[in-house]
């Protein structure tokens, strides 16, 4: 058996269904073995960077390890951004890169590059295998590292000769199982006592609550405390009377008012690393005069910028379950003391004006409630965070941590492959599209019914507004020649529709772009000169030079 075949047999046993990437010389042996392995489908992308985001998002929503592969040299370096993203999002992705034959190292072989140290700081484990007998054991080791503890990406460089060498038959190991991180019972009991004694507080949640929403809501109802979310956590909790909205980038006035002016004495942080975008540039009012309790499975997030009076290390779902039981033991029961919900509601909708806010609200009105929105990076992202409603669980995939322009396009494909029955809409911009827009062909080739909504303002909108606020001017080259993207999609045989007026967005038009056997493009040609609703970020940028 070829060494690379043993790797694929192991991945198949792990339940791997897709491998994202691009074939090329140093990984062709890997792809050749897939001819005889129909259980694993290669998803051949247009760019390795897009493949890395597809793999990360697939891992996120399938709740299992995914695999991404690229050739040596430039193929591998193109994966680096996605690997760094997977590290920030705690997503188990096995990144495989080809490498030149072992006996040609140092001879300036074609596409020679030592990828191991490049991936070392952006993965949990990075290694180059130089002996065929070690290839499978290293894959097994890397897989265990990827899913254990705080999940994350791993990287293995495989020289082409190592892949092709014959190895002795071995028993293929079974798939590893992640051991839960169990919180200290003593710490949980202390937290429960503090919460009961202090009585008032806010619950601040980040993306770590993704798989623990029901427990979170039960806890919030026991305490009757408002829930404030980070931008990354928007979309996890459908309309609920205790949700006070988003704090941080593009957040809501209500949430800012609670943090900055509220007189509660406690803050319960769940699943947030309290980074820049989540805290309005590390606003000190978040914890000022408040007893702060922080629940997370990553001990490195404790006491970074904000001192945690009680850090609770453990899987979020377990910590919440144990805390709920402890609070009930102390006599707490769900109450309904709030007569008025703290939930942020949009103002009475007047959708007549053609602007970004109304475009998104109208689209959401016409699309299925179960739609998941994969949101790219651009000025449109702030409108999504600030204005769009949350009507179903886990309905927004927003990446303000390490999302790259165009990443939302690949992420939409990974999301759709992970949950085929869930409608997926990608919200992106022309700047993002010109980076990774050709992945709509990948969606076409794999018959993925994804609606790509492309906000086309013929400029780098977030850059334009950022410079206008910070420097009071914006370079003319931030704009670009207007391009009809719907015509581009049409040339690729993809259904498309161009919006130029508010009345263009209607049920008839949307019906032609949904319920298809493949992707469709909705181009929104709109230059919106309003300052995007970036929340306190606007004040932060405007303060420069003063």
Host H or E run for residue 538: helix 536-542
Residue 542 pLDDT level (bands cut at 50, 70, 90): low
pLDDT the model gives residue 460: 67
What is 3-164's CATH number, 3.40.50.970, 3.30.1370.10, 3.40.50.2300, 3.40.50.800? 3.40.50.970
Half-sphere exposure of 3 (CA within 13 A, CB side): 22
Take residue 322 and report the two structure tokens written for it.
């144990």
Backbone angles phi, psi at 522, to 5 degrees: -115, 105
Distances (CA, A) of 278 to 247, 373, 505: 6, 20, 33
Residues of the chain with CATH 3.40.50.970: 3-164, 356-542
pLDDT at 337 over 50: no
Residue 339 pLDDT level (bands cut at 50, 70, 90): very low
Fold observed for domain 356-542: Rossmann fold (3.40.50)
Distance CA 502, CA 504 (A): 5
Nearest to 417 by CA among 445, 385, 438: 445
In this prediction, residues 199-222 reach a mean pLDDT of 96
Distances (CA, A) of 260 to 257, 274, 284, 535: 5, 16, 9, 13
Distance CA 417, CA 43 (A): 10
Contact between 343 and 240 (Cβ < 8 Å)? yes
In sequence order, what E strands does 151-201 have? 154-159
User: Which residue, chain included where needed, has tokens 């007893």?
Assistant: 291
Task: Kindly tell me the burial class for residue 490, based on how many C-beta atoms sit within 10 Å of its own C-beta (0-12, 13-18, 19 or more).
Answer: middle
Take residue 57 and report the two structure tokens written for it.
């998002």
| DSSP-based three-state secondary structure for 39 | coil
pLDDT the model gives residue 467: 65
Residue 105 pLDDT level (bands cut at 50, 70, 90): confident
The b/e string for 13-52 (b: 16+ C-beta within 10 A; e otherwise) is ebebbbbbbbbbebbebbbebeeeeeeeebbebbbbbbbb
Backbone angles phi, psi at 206, to 5 degrees: -120, -165
Take residue 399 and report the two structure tokens written for it.
């990446």
Take residue 18 and report the two structure tokens written for it.
């897709």
Residues of the chain with CATH 3.40.50.1220: 185-329
In this prediction, residues 128-153 reach a mean pLDDT of 97
Q: Are strands 227-229 and 243-246 parallel, antiparallel or unpaired?
A: parallel
**Other C-beta atoms within 10 Å of 365: how many?**
13
Distance CA 280, CA 297 (A): 23
CATH of span 185-329: 3.40.50.1220
* 256-281 per-position pLDDT tens digit: 999 999 999 999 999 999 999 999 98
Distance CA 353, CA 119 (A): 48
User: Which residue, chain included where needed, has tokens 């996890």?
Assistant: 236
* 9-61 per-position pLDDT tens digit: 999 999 999 999 999 989 999 999 999 999 999 999 999 999 999 999 999 99
pLDDT the model gives residue 202: 98
Nearest to 448 by CA among 34, 24, 41, 37: 41
């Amino acid at each position: 058996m070829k060494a690379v075949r043993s790797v694929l047999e192991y991945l198949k046993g792990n339940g791997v269904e897709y491998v994202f990437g691009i074939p090329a010389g140093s990984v062709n042996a890997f792809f050749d073995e897939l001819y005889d392995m129909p259980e694993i489908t290669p998803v051949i992308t247009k760019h390795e960077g897009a493949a890395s985001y597809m793999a990360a998002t697939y891992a996120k929503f399938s709740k299992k390890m995914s695999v991404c592969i690229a050739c040596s040299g430039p193929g591998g370096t193109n994966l680096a951004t996605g690997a760094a993203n997977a590290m920030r999002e705690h997503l188990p992705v096995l990144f495989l890169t080809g490498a030149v034959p072992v006996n040609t190292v140092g001879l300036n072989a074609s596409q020679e590059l030592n990828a191991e140290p490049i991936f070392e700081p952006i993965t949990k484990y990075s290694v180059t295998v130089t002996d065929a007998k070690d290839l499978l054991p290293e894959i097994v080791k890397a897989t265990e590292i990827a899913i254990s503890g705080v999940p994350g990406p791993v990287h293995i460089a495989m020289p082409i000769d190592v892949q092709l060498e014959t190895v002795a038959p071995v028993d293929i190991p079974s798939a590893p199982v992640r051991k839960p991180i169990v919180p200290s019972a003593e710490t949980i009991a202390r937290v429960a006592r503090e919460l009961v004694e202090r009585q008032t507080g806010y619950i601040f949640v980040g993306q770590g609550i993704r798989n623990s929403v029901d427990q979170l809501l039960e806890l919030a109802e026991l305490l009757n405390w408002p829930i404030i979310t980070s931008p990354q956590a928007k979309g996890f909790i459908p309309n609920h009377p205790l949700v006070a909205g988003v704090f941080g980038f593009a957040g809501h006035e209500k949430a800012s008012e609670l943090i900055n002016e509220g007189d509660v004495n406690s803050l319960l942080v769940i699943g947030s690393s309290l980074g820049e975008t989540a805290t309005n540039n590390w606003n000190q009012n978040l914890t000022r005069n408040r007893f702060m309790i922080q629940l997370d499975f990553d001990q490195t997030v404790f006491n970074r910028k904000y001192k945690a009076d009680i850090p609770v290390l453990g899987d979020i779902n377990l910590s919440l379950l144990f805390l709920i039981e402890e609070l009930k033991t102390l006599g707490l029961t769900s109450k309904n003391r709030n007569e008025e919900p703290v939930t942020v509601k949009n103002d009475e909708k007047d959708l007549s004006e053609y602007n970004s806010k109304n475009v998104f609200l109208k689209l959401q009105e016409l699309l299925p409630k179960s739609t998941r929105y994969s949101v790219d990076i651009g000025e449109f992202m702030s409108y999504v965070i600030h204005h769009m409603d949350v009507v179903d669980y886990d309905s927004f995939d927003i990446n303000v941590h390490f999302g790259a322009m165009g990443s939302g396009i690949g992420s939409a494909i990974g999301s759709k492959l992970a949950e085929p029955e869930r409608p997926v809409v990608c919200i992106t911009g022309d700047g993002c599209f010109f980076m990774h827009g050709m992945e709509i062909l990948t969606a076409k080739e794999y018959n993925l019914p994804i609606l790509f909504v492309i906000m086309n303002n013929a400029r780098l909108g977030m850059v334009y507004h950022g410079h206008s606020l910070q420097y009071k001017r914006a370079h003319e080259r931030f704009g670009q020649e207007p391009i009809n993207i719907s015509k581009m999609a049409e040339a690729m045989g993809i259904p498309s529709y161009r919006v130029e007026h508010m009345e263009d967005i209607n049920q008839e038009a949307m019906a032609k772009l949904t319920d298809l056997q493949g992707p469709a493009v909705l181009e929104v040609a709109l230059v919106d000169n309003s300052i995007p609703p970036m929340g306190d970020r606007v004040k932060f940028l405007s303060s420069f030079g003063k």
